[in-house]
Amino acid sequence: DAVELGRFEHYMRKEIHEQPNTVRDALRGRLRLAEASAQFGGLNLTARQLRRVRRVVFAACGTSWHAALLGEHYIEKLAHLPAEVEYASEFRYRNAPLDDQTLFFVLSQSGETADTLGALREARRRGFPTLAIVNTVGSTIAREADGGVYLHAGPEIGVASTKAFTSQLVVLALLALHLGRLRHLSYDEGRRLIAALEELPDQIERVLAIEPQVEEAAHRMVQATSALYLGRDLNFPIALEGALKLKEISYLHAEGYPTAEMKHGPIALIDPATPSVFVAPRGGLHAKTLGNIEEVRARKGPVLAVGTQGDDQLARLVDQMLPIPEAHPLTQPILACVPLQLLAYHVARLKGCDIDKPRNLAKSVTVE
Ligand code: G6P
């Protein structure tokens, strides 16, 4: 183990730092530059079959469920198809309608999560083809699905999922690109997204370089007993995932919320001891987000923000801004999650928690 950990104290931090490479591996061999599209060896579906699709349904648990939430945005934005995200544990018992024009995916890092496997088996039992986005090669879900996509992220040991999450996002973006290019998405838009995806490894490298700033931010959080994570649109799933990471390994209570929903309840929690973490890169609705931050400030709530490098207006408004590079609107959330992974890690480290073996959690949950 020590050898594998190399210069890192914990697998979680090692895996966070592997992300430039794991993102590169998720992209490898899957870009079709000439057509500004993507390809997947294992999907087992022809272009003709994919053109018939009218709806996409994802079922997953935990961090994989958060990835699917971003997948829903990608599919809607690039392919203009309705997409739904189900908790695997709920889907199984709901008799949720599926039909032969629906693409049904399960997402699982381990490929062994009992509820996700149950959802896949339920769909099969009802006679629908199943697809899986999985990291672990040869896992039960990978074997039982009719087709699918591997993440190629390598073994993830840290119980709190990090590199598998960013790889899931990359694969979902490629999938949406592929479905989009079979429909109305223009060649130029496809090429712009491909260029943005290819830039990701270097951009993630730049985000990892701000780790000392994230450590400073962790010092601001460590005394808190509760925190709010807020994000809009594509950054809402990132807020949920940031909050989950913090809960899982630092045992600090955190809640993820859509930024504008804050005023419908969570704002009651704001006080000088309750930090808010805004996922607020520049882009649509930024002015409204700045207004929401002012509301928190007016109630003396401490504010951290993940923002676009050079956004002085945001930096002036918050206690500390964690900068990420300017990026394509669809890849920006992938960058925004990295400082939040590091933030959870450093808060947990300051609290002396057992980061790679958090209490009560298992890497893969094989009970229902
Ligand atoms: C467990 C892990 C989480 C993970 C979830 C789903 O709860 O602790 O980190 O997100 O299972 O796992 P999967 O392997 O299906 O993605």
pLDDT attached to residue 198:
98
Tell the residue nearest (CA) to atom 8 of ligand 1: 363
How do residues 155-203 score in pLDDT, each as one tens digit? Answer: 999 889 999 999 999 999 999 999 999 999 999 999 999 999 999 999 9
User: From its phi and psi, is residue 321 left (phi > 0), alpha (psi between -120 and 50) or beta?
Assistant: beta
> Is 98 or 58 the better-scoring residue by pLDDT?
58
> Cα(153) to centroid of ligand 1, in Å?
15
Closest CA to 132 of 123, 141, 122, 121: 141
How do residues 227-238 score in pLDDT, each as one tens digit? Answer: 999 999 999 999
What is the band of 300 on the pLDDT scale with cuts at 50, 70, 90? very high
Residues with CB under 6 A from ligand 1: 61-64, 108-110, 113, 116, 159-161, 361, 363-365
Q: Which atom of ligand 1 is nearest to 110's Cα?
A: 14
pLDDT attached to residue 2:
45
Q: Taking residues 30-43, what's their average pLDDT?
A: 95
**Average pLDDT of the chain to the nearest whole number:** 95
ipTM of model over 0.85: yes
Name the pTM for this structure: 0.97
Do 238 and 336 contact (CB within 8 A), yes or no?
yes
Whether 363 sits among the annotated catalytic residues: the reply is yes
pLDDT attached to residue 363:
81
Q: Taking residues 127-138, what's their average pLDDT?
A: 95
> Is 307 or 43 the better-scoring residue by pLDDT?
307
pLDDT attached to residue 58:
98
> Cα(64) to centroid of ligand 1, in Å?
7
